[in-house]
Amino acid sequence: MPNKIGSNVVAPFERVKDVNVIMTILHPQPLVGLGNLLLVNKVDKPATLKTTTATPAVAPANAVTGAGTSGDTTPKDAQDNKDKTQGSNTTGDRAFSNELSNDDRMNGLLKRKVDTATGAVYREYKNLDAVAVDYPENSPVWFKANSYFAQSNHSDRIAILDYVDGKLLDTLKDFWYYNWTFMAFVDNTINDDVILASNICESNQDHFLVLQSNDLAQFTQFYGQNYTIGLKHDLSEAMDTALVGAVATKTVGSCTWKFKELTGITPEDLTTQERAGIENSHCIAYIQVDGRSETAEGFSMSGEYIDLLHGEIWVKVNVGNELQSLLQDNDKVSYDNTGISMVSARINYVLDLAWKQGIIQTNDDTSKGMYEVTTTPRSAQSRDDLSKRHYGGASFTYHASSAIHSLTIHGTVDSDTIMQ
């Protein structure tokens, strides 16, 4: 296969030989979506799209590539003097290219997308060093990312979304189906944007918002929200991003969110009454039990358990993906029993996998997953659906798997003492 850098195309040399061995290197696929984190960062100035790029082969020794712009030679000390309240380059040059330069890639930038309609810019970074190129060390963005990458189960990336005040709704709409499922705000202040994000998650039912505050009263307005997770912890430590980094990328269905140890997070010394108040508010604290640190619970602000909701999202996404592949991989899925059976088979495949992962409960009598797929024949479809080539006769149900979070054990002691 010819390769080229710049304008020079080079094909492999030919060798006079009867056997030609061609090697292919298989790389691990990036972790897609269901455990990935998005940091939401408000900036003062909208981003614009840079239409021309210049990619030097080697950056000058006395310069750094800054804020994701191709060929930016802003000195490091100038970068450090930029507004650190919300990350670097929030008020300076905000022109970015959607194409990554060689320097971008070497610095660990995986993706960049500018939304010209809202002035937002979305970026994915492979590690903390990559984040530090655009957001200086000890800045609020870096602080949150540092806590995330400190966890042993963090993803192979972190996404950061810079948005302009008043544009959050449209910004999230544009980047909603990018490669992330959990989001946390860089600024922990509970304000209108945070409430809006919580309601957006609740409406779509396929992403989580993770909030952190040391004031339990701040969570009252989120009580009952399925897809908002409330963490009661001191703001000097980023428990929100630590929790996502510790648990979210584990195989969905394989674990509960309670009992989890978070690197770099200090457990709180809570009284029994204080802990009860936190749990009655459907919030999660970080505590120490029998000498070990752990998350005190594993539910969202509604009281529903995060692993159950995460499993629900997994099933929804994977059923959709399998059926989309069915339509794309076949020249034609016939509108008859054969085609409908193909639809049923794909749904059954996903639910069987969900059962094996621990998302679906096992039936004790059959040792199989507790799920059922139902399809109706072509004759049961409406004339309008038949005319539009739309099939809406498939449905499924399943019983979600559970977990043991507490124990009560009854013991009996047989004594020789005769009591009068």
Q: What is the DSSP string of 215-255?
A: -GGGGGGGTT-TTEEEEE--TTS-HHHHHHHHHTTSPTTS-
Residues 241 and 347 grouped into a single domain: no
Whole domain around residue 384: which residue ranges?
322-398
Cα(401)–Cα(296) distance, integer angstroms = 20
Which one has a higher pLDDT value, 379 or 68? 379
Whether 133 is in a domain gets the answer yes
pLDDT at 4 > cutoff 70:
no
Domain membership of residue 276 (yes or no) is no
pTM: 0.83
Rounded-to-integer distance, Cα 205 and Cα 154, Å: 23
Query: What long-range pairs does 210-213 form, CB within 8 A, spacing at least 24?
Result: 210/182, 210/183, 210/184, 210/240, 210/241, 210/243, 210/244, 211/184, 211/185, 211/240, 212/184, 212/188, 212/238, 212/239, 212/240, 213/188
Average pLDDT over residues 220-249: 97
pLDDT band of residue 69 (cuts 50, 70, 90) is very low
Whether 56 shows a pLDDT value over 70: the answer reads: no
pLDDT of 162 > 70? The answer is yes
pLDDT at 74: 35
Residue among 131, 146, 151 at smallest CA distance from 250: 151
For residue 44, count other CB atoms closer than 10 A to its CB: 13
Q: Indicate if 241 and 332 belong to the same structural domain.
A: no
Q: Which of 197, 221, 248 is the last residue of a domain?
A: 248
pLDDT tens digits, one per residue of 129-140: 999 999 999 999
DSSP 415: -
Q: Distance (Å, rounded) from C-alpha 284 to C-alpha 292? A: 16
- Residue 19 is predicted with a pLDDT of 82
Q: Which region among 33-37, 88-92, 302-306 has the lowest average model confidence (pLDDT)?
A: 88-92
Cβ(163)–Cβ(276) below 8 Å: no
Handedness of CA 51, 52, 56, 60 (dihedral sign): negative
Within this chain, do residues 103 and 244 fall inside the same structural domain, yes or no? yes
| pLDDT interval class at 34 (50, 70, 90) | confident
Instruction: Say what the pLDDT of residue 21 is.
Output: 76
Q: Are strands 3-5 and 120-125 parallel, antiparallel or unpaired?
A: unpaired
pLDDT of residue 118 exceeding 80, the answer is yes
Rounded to an integer, the average pLDDT of 339-357 is 97
> Which residues contact residue 295 at a Cβ distance below 8 angstroms, ignoring those fewer than 6 apart?
243, 257, 258, 259, 260, 262, 284, 285, 286
124 forms beta bridges with 111, 159
Checking if the pLDDT of 65 tops 50, the result is: no
Boundary (domain end) residue, out of 248, 282, 314: 248
The tokens describing 31, both together, are: 């972790």
Are residues 242 and 326 both part of a single domain? no
Residues 238 and 326 in one domain: no
Q: Which of 229, 248, 267 is the last residue of a domain?
A: 248
Name every residue whose Cβ is closer than 8 Å to that of residue 316 and which is 6 or more positions away in sequence. Answer: 206
Does some domain include residue 237? yes
pLDDT at 183 over 50: yes
Q: Is residue 374 part of a domain?
A: yes
| Segment 87-104 mean pLDDT | 78
Mean pLDDT in residue range 74-100: 56
**Quick one: pLDDT band at residue 94, thresholds 50, 70, 90?**
confident
Separation CA 245–CA 127 (nearest Å): 12
Cα separation, 78 vs 224, whole angstroms: 46
Compute the distance between CA of residue 26 and CA of residue 234 in angstroms, rounded to an integer.
Answer: 44
Nearest to 279 by CA among 258, 305, 297, 261: 297
| Domain contains 297 | no
Cβ–Cβ < 8 Å for 179, 36: yes
Measured distance CA(42)–CA(9) in Å, rounded: 44
pLDDT at 62 over 60: no
Instruction: Decide if 305 is inside a domain.
Output: no
For 386, list phi and psi in degrees, rounded to 5: -60, -40
Count: domains in the chain: 2
Residues 221 and 118 occupy one common structural domain: yes
DSSP 164-233: ETT-HHHHHHHHTTSS-SEEEESS----HHHHHHHHHHHHH-S-EEEEEES-GGGGGGGTT-TTEEEEE-
Residues 94 and 231 in one domain: yes
Asked if the structure places residue 73 within a domain, the reply is yes
Same domain, 229 and 369: no
Query: Do 46 and 131 lie in a common domain?
Result: yes
371 φ, ψ to 5°?
Answer: -145, 160
Q: Please check whether residues 210 and 61 belong to one and the same domain.
A: yes
For residue 77, is pLDDT > 70?
no
Whether 295 maps to a domain, the answer reads no
Q: Are residues 131 and 45 in the same domain?
A: yes
47 & 139 share domain: yes
How far does CA 120 lie from the centroid of its chain? 19
How far is CA 414 from each of CA 286, 306, 411, 417, 418, rounded to the nearest angstrom? 40, 43, 10, 9, 11
